[in-house]
Copies of this chain bind each other. A is one copy, B any other.
Amino acid sequence: MKKIGIVDTTFSVVNMGAIAVAELQKQGTGFKIIRRTVPGFKDLAVACKILIENEGCDIAMALGMPGPEEIDKQCAHEASQGIMQAQLMTSTHIIEVFVHMDEAKDGRELVWLTERRVREHAANTYMMLFHPEKMIKMAGTGQRQGFEDVGPTWK
C-alpha cells in the first residue's frame, strides 16, 4: 500500500487539501492518504519532509495560496526553495501546487482556478506514483494546470 502526503494551510482561502483528497480518491485505489494542515506556505516544506521521513510517504503534495503583495511573492519564493530542498534531501517528489491570489480576477474565479489546478496536479501525483512511464507520452505537449493547456508546438 503506497502513501501520499497532503499538506495545506490555514492561510489559504480555499480548502485545497480537501480538493486534493477528493480527486486522488477519484483517480484510483491502492494508496493511503496522510493529511496535515499548517499555518502558512512557509511551513509546508518541513511538514512534507516529516511526512516522507516519519510516515513513509512515497510522494507528497504541498498546497499553498500566496497573497497578492510584494512580500507574499518573496515568501512564496522562500517556500518554493524549501520545497525544492525537501525533495532533494529525501530524494522524493513533492508536487508544489501554488495558486497566487492575484492570478484570478475575483473570488469566484479564484475558487474555480484553485479547484482545477489542485485536481490536475492530484492527477499528476497519482500518475507519477503508479504509472510514471505514461508521463513520457505527454512530454512536450504543453500541459498547464488550471488555465487551458498550451499544446505542443511541434514541426
A13, B84: Cβ atoms under 8 Å?
Answer: no
A45, B11: Cβ atoms under 8 Å?
Answer: no
* Interface status of A1 (Cβ within 8 A of chain B): no
Q: How far is the CA of A49 from the CA of B84 in the complex (A)?
A: 12
* Interface status of A107 (Cβ within 8 A of chain B): yes
* Interface status of A129 (Cβ within 8 A of chain B): no
A88, B85: Cβ atoms under 8 Å?
Answer: yes
Number of copies: 5
Most chain-B CB neighbours within 10 Å: which of A12, A49, A153? A153
Residues of B within 8 A of A79 (CB): 84
A11, B144: Cβ atoms under 8 Å?
Answer: yes
Q: Which of B10, B14, B37, B77 contacts A153 (CB 8 A)?
A: B14
* Interface status of A152 (Cβ within 8 A of chain B): yes
A73: shortest Cβ distance to chain B, in Å? 8
